[in-house]
Amino acid sequence: DYSEADLKSFLNSQESTNNKKRKKKVTINNSSNYYDYEKERKKGGEYNKKYLLNRNLQEAEKFYELHDHQYAQKFYTNAIESSEFKYLLSTQRLNAFTKRGISFLKLKQFDKAINDFNSAIKIDSGYSIAYFNRGICNLRKENWLNSIIDFNKAIVFNKSSDPEYYYFRGLAKNGFKEYEDALNDFETAISMEPFRVSFKDAKNFTLGKLKKKAEKDRKEREKLEKDRKERERAEKAEKD
């Protein structure tokens, strides 16, 4: 069954490859501004609230760019929970929810990530990045149909063609056992980036599933034909 061991193994192998490419994480020591913020927060005041909001967003962006998603989500959370957050521009709130969602996704906290992408979509219902990343969350949770729906929307709203949108939709379609459609998506992704090994691996993996499916269908047809002939012989013997 594609949705069990073999798909999980394939997805995990892809994730392991991606993990090796990530930048080395950094940590915060006791001299970090993060601890100064805690002291500032206790002072209160409108100026202090705006100052803390902006500094938390700055630190969140810094750690996000450094791929330290544990600290990035903490700073984004500080900002989002601020009473001043609702007064930010919609683009700033959209960015904060999306990047915190991606941080949660990287930390494998999929439900929290989905909530953030939902919040981003409420701000901008045509934001392809939010649909794409929510699709990845649903893919990892094996919610194949929801994942396909999200990737469909991401592709529609994405103004610039991104092969990864088709690649991940292909993975979701494989999980949903739509192998022929999945193969089309992988071929589309490969046509955009011919040298991506992960795209070719996914295509070959799907071709293997199609071959097994074709062999299974052939055996079932042979069995049905054999059963039909045996019934005909039995009916003929009864008449004789």
pTM of the predicted model, to two decimals?
0.78
- Confirm if 193 and 199 have CB atoms less than 8 A apart: yes
Average pLDDT, the chain: 85
**Residue 77 identity:** T
Q: Out of 77-81, 88-92, 100-104, 210-214, which region has the weakest mean confidence (pLDDT)?
A: 210-214
Quick one: how many helices (H) and strands (E) in the chain? 11, 0
d(CA 114, CA 121): 10
Six-digit token string for 5:
């061991």
Would you place residue 35 in the very low, low, confident or very high pLDDT band (cuts 50, 70, 90)? very low
The secondary structure of residue 84, as a DSSP letter, is T
Average pLDDT over residues 214-222: 84
Average pLDDT over residues 55-77: 96
Percent of the chain with pLDDT over 70: 80
Note the pLDDT tens digit of each residue in 108-158: 999 999 999 999 999 999 999 999 999 999 999 999 999 999 999 999 999
Q: Is residue 23 predicted with pLDDT exceeding 70? A: no
Helix, strand, coil content of the chain in percent (nearest 5)? 80, 0, 20
**Residue 148 identity:** I
The secondary structure of residue 4, as a DSSP letter, is I
Six-digit token string for 167:
């690649």
